[in-house]
Amino acid sequence: MAHSKLSVPSLGTPQHFLECDIEDCERNCQFYCNPCHQQMCEQCRDEHLKKPEYKNHEMVLYQQRKRQLRVEKCKIHPTKDIDMLCEECQLPLCSKCATQEDHRGHTFIDLETVYAENMALCLGEISKIHKYFLPTSQDLQKEIKGDPTEIKMIMDSFRTAMKADGESLKSMVNEVVSENIQQVDNIEQSLLEKLQSQDTTVNDYISYLHDLVKEFHSYLSSSKLTDIIPKRFEKFLEIRPIPGTTKPVIPVFTAGQYSKDDVAKLLGKINVKDTKAEIREIKSMEIVPPSTSMEFTSQQKKRDRHRKSDVKQTMSLSSSVTEVGEFHVPGVNNASHMSLDKSGRLWVSDYNGNLVQTDLQGNQLQKIQTSRGLGCHTVTQDGDLIFTDSHNNVINKITLDNNITEFIKTGDWTPLSIHSSHIKGDILAGMMKDRMAKVTRYNKRGEKLQNIQRRVIKPLFGYPRSITENINGDVCVSDYEKQAVVVVNKSGQYRFSYRGQESGFRPRGICTDVLGHILVCDNTTVHLLDQDGQFLSLLLTEQHGIDDAISVCVDDENNLYVGQYSKNTVTVHKYLQ
């Protein structure tokens, strides 16, 4: 029977320790004699093994002990204990049963060994349940319980957007109706003015006729001979012709031909994805070793999972920005766009399609020729480089073994900018077609998930020069044509636009950091915004040596990289503490 006593460590946390089973010994148990089924301290273990009859006893750590088989008497031979297993019959037996004719030639195993092995298996399974299956299932349950909140938030954003669509359409309908009514008023006024003019002309002519009649009557009653001179009389008889008039041309009103479907086409609509539901990711059992190691790995995973949120809680903006490095990138004319891979290496491209990988000292590691572009490459969660081919309207992938494959075909749309999500690994691509622009979301396998294109009936984007994703799932687009940073939420609903602090704002490269800040460069400045679009500061200016900034990115150590267009130089800055 195992004994225990209560020991209170200095930290004040009560803990139970097992006592040694040897008589008059009160030291803590550390070891276990499997044959004797006794727990012992180190000193008693040594004394036990010194005795000749015990020298071959199996002595193990207490945690590795064999569980003692409970005593059960044989029903056939009541004086005997059941202590062995017949392998052929899979029956527990006593030693006397093993000599019977039924079991002659059979193989027997020590039942205590079988019991100990099965106990170890049970304990191992219990450990797996407590350290893997339960926590993983509970995490999954938390995720499922959190989904309704996210769904409610998304659906609320749909409702808000739909109402905004309707109000906008109503406003435009009222505006068009008012313009049409004003046109009718103007036509009516014009017709009335023409009729009034004609009425005045005819009225003047009638007055003329009345005067003429009076003159004729005066002639008839005249006694002067000079009034009847033929030539004078003939001239007097020339009556002016009746003035010409026109009937008013009344316009024709053509009633609008439309249906409910026509109105519905003008408004946004909700689309249910015609794809299979994505299976929730479950942590693989293979990565969790048994016993103590499993516990350590589980805790380590939890620490890794929360590392970024912990960093967010401890990081803040520095009072000043410090340049901590500068290097030249060989093989490119300028640093138009940058992407960091998992190894801490930097991919840099110029507008001519030269794409170079360097270390952080500027040493060239490899070079690839691509099509012309700006925000045209990104590194996925799996460490693969993907880049746009604007000539063939495809997105290519370079795997870790340097094989180039055609990853996504974009059809009639020309891919301009691209970004791999750090949240789910989705691919965001900014595209153009016939002066129309959109952002398309793909999953890791390159399957289309979402098109983000319009705000009510107006286009969201003009020219998506560069694109990134924030920690809250917002899609942030540097739009060169709209001269703004355009931000939508993960459902594609418009959130806000940032148009700089002065006129002439021309956003170029864009990125976000662990605190949800949005960083966008504009020639001689790098603007810092919060995740709701509020301007915080001009993080870098000409005073920091910024003279032609065109690209920005932030690494896992919260260093800000700024690429220059006028030269192939990248500067590195610290702005968080």
In the DSSP assignment, the letter for residue 242 is: P
Which tokens in the block code for residue 422? 């750090």
In this prediction, residue 377 carries a pLDDT of 92
- Residue 143 CA to its chain's centroid (Å): 17
- Is 517 strand, coil or helix? coil
d(CA 284, CA 296): 16
pTM (global) more than 0.85: no
User: Taking 80 as the threshold, does the pLDDT of residue 152 lie above it?
Assistant: yes
Determine what percent of the chain is predicted with pLDDT higher than 90: 36
Tens digit of each residue's pLDDT (9 = 90 or more) over 165-213? 888 889 889 999 999 999 999 999 999 999 999 999 999 999 999 988 8
Across-strand partners of 93?
84
User: Taking 90 as the threshold, does the pLDDT of residue 333 lie above it?
Assistant: no
In this prediction, residue 111 carries a pLDDT of 85
User: Taking 90 as the threshold, does the pLDDT of residue 275 lie above it?
Assistant: no
Report the candidate in 15, 97, 457 with the shortest Cα–Cα distance to residue 5: 15
User: Taking 80 as the threshold, does the pLDDT of residue 158 lie above it?
Assistant: yes
Mean pLDDT of 417-445: 91
d(CA 479, CA 465): 6
| Measured CA distances, 171 to 23, 450, 480 (Å) | 95, 29, 29
Average model confidence (pLDDT) across the chain: 83
Mean pLDDT of 214-227: 74
User: Taking 90 as the threshold, does the pLDDT of residue 573 lie above it?
Assistant: yes
Tens digit of each residue's pLDDT (9 = 90 or more) over 352-364? 888 999 988 888 8
Q: What phi and psi values does residue 425 have, to the nearest 5 degrees?
A: 85, 5
d(CA 238, CA 216): 12
Regarding beta strands 377-379 and 385-389, do their DSSP bridges make them parallel or antiparallel, or are they unpaired?
Answer: antiparallel
Tens digit of each residue's pLDDT (9 = 90 or more) over 493-546? 889 999 998 888 999 999 999 999 999 999 889 999 999 999 999 999 988 888
d(CA 485, CA 460): 11
In this prediction, residue 510 carries a pLDDT of 96
User: Taking 70 as the threshold, does the pLDDT of residue 289 lie above it?
Assistant: no
Determine the topology of domain 319-576 in CATH: Neuraminidase (2.120.10)
Mean pLDDT of 129-133: 87
Q: What phi and psi values does residue 365 have, to the nearest 5 degrees?
A: -105, -40
The domains of the chain are located at: 4-64, 117-266, 284-314, 319-576
- Is 288 strand, coil or helix? coil
Tens digit of each residue's pLDDT (9 = 90 or more) over 375-405? 589 999 888 899 998 888 999 998 767 788 8
